[in-house]
Amino acid sequence: MAKTIQKSFSKIHYSTLIILGGVLLLGAVSCQAVVTEQMPTQTIAPEDTPEFVPAEPESEESETSSGEGQAQVVDSEDLNQCLVCHADQQALKDTADPVVLVETESSGEG
Amino acid sequence: MAPLEPWEKALIDQEAFLDTVHGKISCQACHQGEQSPDKDAAHTDLIPYPSDDPEQFCGECHPNLVASTENSLHATLDGYWTVLASRGVPENHPAAEEMFGNHCASCHASCGDCHVSRPTSVDGGFIDGHVFNAKPSMTNNCTACHGSRVGEEYLGKHEDLKADVHFRQGRMTCVDCHTGHEMHGTPANCQDCHQGPEASQAPPPDHRYDGLQSPSCESCHATVLAGNDGILMHEQHSGTLSCQVCHSVSYKSCDGCHVSLSEETGNPVFATEGSYLGFYIGKNTLQSYARPYEYVPVRHVPISSTSFDYYEVGLVSNFSGRETWVYTTPHNIQRNTPQTESCSNCHGNPDIFLTADMIAPEELEANREVIVDVIPSLP
């Protein structure tokens, strides 16, 4: 009796495993198709971001001013290079020449 | 005025500056230099003060202002040359040129010294994060140079002396009277060039009191000039006394300035023998259609016959060629002063008039025209 039950369970188990395996294979194939469609987008976006974010707003402004007839217009890279330091208080502190305290050598009211 | 930290001098307010017209111009268009993240490389061939060459860097957009400002006293410094020449200091003379370059030329004011940063003569530094101000700041720009006399008087820095009423009650700043027309040498009206029947045209000024009074008190206080403000003393003294004779209080005079180069550092230095507060009425040596007054306040200027001897003994070869007690317009105007309290505070008062006994013997000849020989008595 016990052997009969064990045999019939084994038949059910093997057939279930085969079915499950088929389902998983189909699922895997379909999922891979979705992923491969999305990958190119995800790959392009991170590469564009570093250049796009800082440059575009200033470049748009400079182009606008150029359209208004300024002879010497803003080049976004030009502005960025100077402002990287000169708009950054800490950067200016870090790169400032050492202060040389000079006592006035003049005397009396100037 | 507290000095700026090195980083403060060069810090740009990016958000504010880029929103202005000047913020649309590339940095290199004015300052040149190199595009590099390395400081030394970026500052190669940098032009820190572009407006030292106003024609190239300011004139493209502001041609008229640049052209007229070149004739202003801030640009020409002719006020200095006028008084030096009248005392016998020669032009085109090596020692005089050297002295002038070391001690006088730093008072030249460029466009940027008034509109974007503190003057370079006080070590510069942006005022508003490189934003260009159409109107200069009183304390950061004007009194940064004109501080020892005008600034201290106007702001009431002298003990027991109140600030000028225009500041105390009106909170007026320098540019409220000294307009852009005056600063840039551009006429605001016909009279600025044609100053009366004797002047069909006016050359550039050669000293600060040359030509029409600009600004003048009467521009705002017109009823005083017309004599219809109901004040008897205005009717009585108008035209004879400058406004400051009655409405100024004590101001600073200085004596004996000598200039040289420091033995230690080689830097230009000066030494004055003394300074003091006082109020003195003298004769007006600049009487003209525009300044008809017989009496004006006079202030002692710190020239001496040996002021420039470090550069060449005898450079002041005609010390008596110009007075040392000079016409002045103190910036400490008050409605009520000792002079307005009582007639006898002026009439018959020897303390308030510049008499010969107040003048150093070696300066008597120079001040012959200024000295009040007879103190006016009460009529």
The pLDDT of residue B295 is above 70: yes
Last residue of a domain, one of B144, B160, B185: B185
The verdict on residue B317 lying in a domain is yes
Distance CA B314, CA B11 (A): 47
Other C-beta atoms lying within 10 Å of the C-beta of residue B329: 19
**Residue A75 pLDDT > 60:** no
Provide CB contacts within 8 A for A94, sequence distance 6+: none
Q: Do B265 and A77 touch (CB under 8 A)?
A: no
Q: Is the pLDDT of residue B43 over 70?
A: yes
pLDDT of B337 higher than 90: yes
The token pair at B196 is 């009366």
**Which residue segment(s) compose the domain that B101 sits in?**
73-185
Residue of B nearest to A84 (CA): B37
Report strand pairing: B268-278 vs B251-261.
antiparallel
In terms of pLDDT, which residue wins out, A54 or B141? B141
Is A109–B252 a contact, with Cβ atoms under 8 angstroms apart?
yes
Examine residue B129 and state whether it is found in any structural domain, yes or no: yes
User: What percent of chain B is predicted at pLDDT more than 70?
Assistant: 96
Question: Token match 């008050």: residue?
Answer: B334
List the domain boundaries for chain A.
2-94
Tally of domains within chain B: 2
pLDDT tens for B154-191 read 999 999 999 999 999 999 999 999 999 889 987 767 76
Among A94-98, B135-139, B250-254, where is mean pLDDT lowest? Answer: A94-98
Is the confidence at residue B207, as pLDDT, over 80? yes
Domain boundary among B158, B185, B212: B185
Are the C-beta atoms of residues B274 and B254 closer than 8 Å to each other?
yes
Closest CB to A79 among B6, B27, B267: B27
For chain B, give the mean pLDDT. Answer: 93
Mean pLDDT score across all residues of chain A: 57
Residues of A with CB under 8 A from a CB of B: 58, 61-62, 65, 70-75, 77-79, 81-87, 89, 92-93, 95-97, 99, 102, 104-110
Distance CA(B302)–CA(B376), nearest Å, equals 28
Q: Which has more confidence, A71 or B8? A: B8
| Residue to substitute from A77, A92, A100, A107, interface B, most B β-carbons within 10 A | A92
Question: Which DSSP state fits B281?
Answer: E
In-domain check, residue B62: no
Last residue of a domain, one of B185, B214, B249: B185
Q: Is residue B256 predicted with pLDDT exceeding 90?
A: yes
How close does chain A come to B133, measured CA to CA in Å? 19
- Answer yes or no: do B257 and A58 touch at CB < 8 A: no
Residues B341 and B312: beta-carbon distance below 8 Å: no
Lowest-pLDDT range of A75-84, B71-80, B240-249: A75-84
Identify which of B148, B197, B115, B93 has the alpha carbon closest to the alpha carbon of residue B301. B148
Beta strand pairing call for B325-327 and B295-300: antiparallel
pLDDT at B114 over 60: yes
Q: How many residue pairs bridge chain A and chain B with CB atoms within 8 Å of each other? A: 95
3-state secondary structure of B296: strand
Which residues in chain B are contacts of A101 at CB distance < 8 A?
none
- Dist CA B146 CA B126 (whole Å): 19
Q: How many CB atoms lie within 10 A of CB B303?
A: 24
Q: Are residues B238 and B310 in the same domain?
A: yes
A106/B265 touch (CB, cutoff 8 Å), yes or no: no
pLDDT, tens digit, 9 for 90 and up, residues B9-35: 999 999 999 999 999 999 999 999 998
Q: How far apart are CA B373 and CA B357, in angstroms?
A: 10
**CB atoms near residue B181 (< 10 Å):** 15
Enclosing H/E stretch for B98:
helix B94-103
CA atoms within 13 A of residue B332's CA, in its CB half-sphere: 26
Is residue A84 pLDDT above 80, yes or no?
yes
Which positions in chain A touch B35 (Cβ < 8 Å)? 77-78, 81
Decide: pTM greater than 0.90: no
pLDDT computed for residue A109 by the predictor: 77
Q: What 3-state DSSP class applies to A29?
A: helix
Alpha helices in A1-110 (DSSP H): 2-67, 76-86, 89-95
At B192 the pLDDT is 65
pLDDT of residue A10: 52
CB nearest to A72's CB, from B29, B257, B273: B29
Tell me what pLDDT residue B355 has.
98
pLDDT grade for A66, boundaries at 50, 70 and 90:
very low
